[in-house]
Amino acid sequence: MRALITGGAGFIASHVADAYIAGGHDVAILDNLSRGSSSNVNTRARFYHGDITDAEFVESVFQKEQPEIINHHAAQMDVRRGVREPLFDASINILGSLNILQCAVAHKTGRIIYVSTAGAAYGEPREIPVSEDCPINPITPYGITKHTVEHYLFTYRVLYGLNYVVLRYGNVYGPRQSSQGEAGVFAMFCEQMLAGSQPVIYGDGTKIRDYVYVDDVVRANLAAIQRGDGEIFNIASGEETTDLEVFDLVRELLGKSNVRPSYVPRRPGEIDKICLDVDKAKRLLQWTPEVSLRQGATETIKYFQEAAKQKEMVL
């Protein structure tokens, strides 16, 4: 199957691209490299360097590739920047996504797998765990823009027959994650401890998140190729984990028992608590999270230890 992966040089989507290629799919990647890295791009994929906000560029890619399926990860995904620059956030996450949808209709693409957000869309939930049917009350522009595209997808299916699946991610972590990215607390703690600097916790360490390892997320993207027509799925572990628990786990696995965190004020737009109900994905997508937090943390730490060694060799 011909697949176009937007944001395919980034942390999560590059893993998805690798899995699609390993599964025998013909993959093209579109990325502007603002967050992703060319080193993440699979050498067996065709790479297009450009922006989804450039309608002519997007159209040219569709003309060349004629994709049968689109995996749409490309986004402005920095919650704090979205708060500071809501127009910029909307220009990418809404208008850029509309460029993708318009081309999908024009070129008769059969399916879009759209990557949305859970915590930023649901806002402060009324009850835990949060199911897909819970109220959507985003408290940041990022959450608004990511959720808005879900409405466009529903409309495009009604108007044009464009099929889709929405994956609302929890807090994804794993190899290739950037400490600068959204939900990058594993990366931040690893890099800070390995560099010998004092790790920073925003707030008092009691914020609760639902962490899911990148390999589990990849399997959801594989399942969504064939299953879940017109459905929305939470993709997470379904387990509550505090910032301090992540800090303690990373410190233990790195053998840094003497390290203590620095507590600083929370950042604007951060919710207090989120944990997701993944029963729908288990039933309809036939997907379930398999990697425990300790297993995932161990693999993540190996990646950052190797990256630190490589950096030392360069220096």
User: Which CATH number is 248's domain given?
Assistant: 3.90.25.10
Shared-domain flag, residues 185 and 260 = yes
pLDDT digits (tens, 9 = 90+) for 140-173: 999 999 999 999 999 999 999 999 999 999 999 9
**Residue 122 CB neighbours (<10 A):** 25
- Burial (CB count within 10 angstroms: exposed 0-12, middle 13-18, buried 19+), residue 273: middle
Shared-domain flag, residues 262 and 166 = no
Shared-domain flag, residues 167 and 298 = no
Q: Quick one: tokens of 64?
A: 């060349």
What amino acid occupies position 35? R
Q: Quick one: tokens of 49?
A: 């360097």
Does 311 score more than 90 pLDDT?
no
Q: Tell me what pLDDT residue 309 has.
A: 83
Catalytic residue among 142, 173, 211, 213: 142
User: Is there a catalytic annotation at residue 142?
Assistant: yes
pLDDT digits (tens, 9 = 90+) for 78-88: 888 999 999 99
- Respond yes or no on whether the N-terminal peptide bond of residue 141 is cis (omega within 30° of 0): no
Domain assignment of residue 152, yes or no:
yes
Strands 208-209 and 241-242: antiparallel
Q: Quick one: tokens of 309?
A: 């060694």
Does 231 score more than 70 pLDDT?
yes
- Burial (CB count within 10 angstroms: exposed 0-12, middle 13-18, buried 19+), residue 154: middle
SS3 73: coil
Per the structure, the count of domains in the chain is 2
Domain assignment of residue 199, yes or no:
yes
- Respond yes or no on whether the N-terminal peptide bond of residue 129 is cis (omega within 30° of 0): yes
- The pTM of this model reads 0.95
User: Which CATH number is 69's domain given?
Assistant: 3.40.50.720
Q: Write phi, then psi, for 29 (nearest 5 degrees).
A: -125, 135
With a CB cutoff of 8 Å and minimum separation 6, the contacts of 17 are 5, 8, 27, 29, 41, 42, 45
Domain assignment of residue 22, yes or no:
yes
Does 19 score more than 70 pLDDT?
yes
Query: Can you tell me the distance from the alpha carbon of 192 to that of 198, in angstroms, rounded to the nearest whole number?
Result: 6
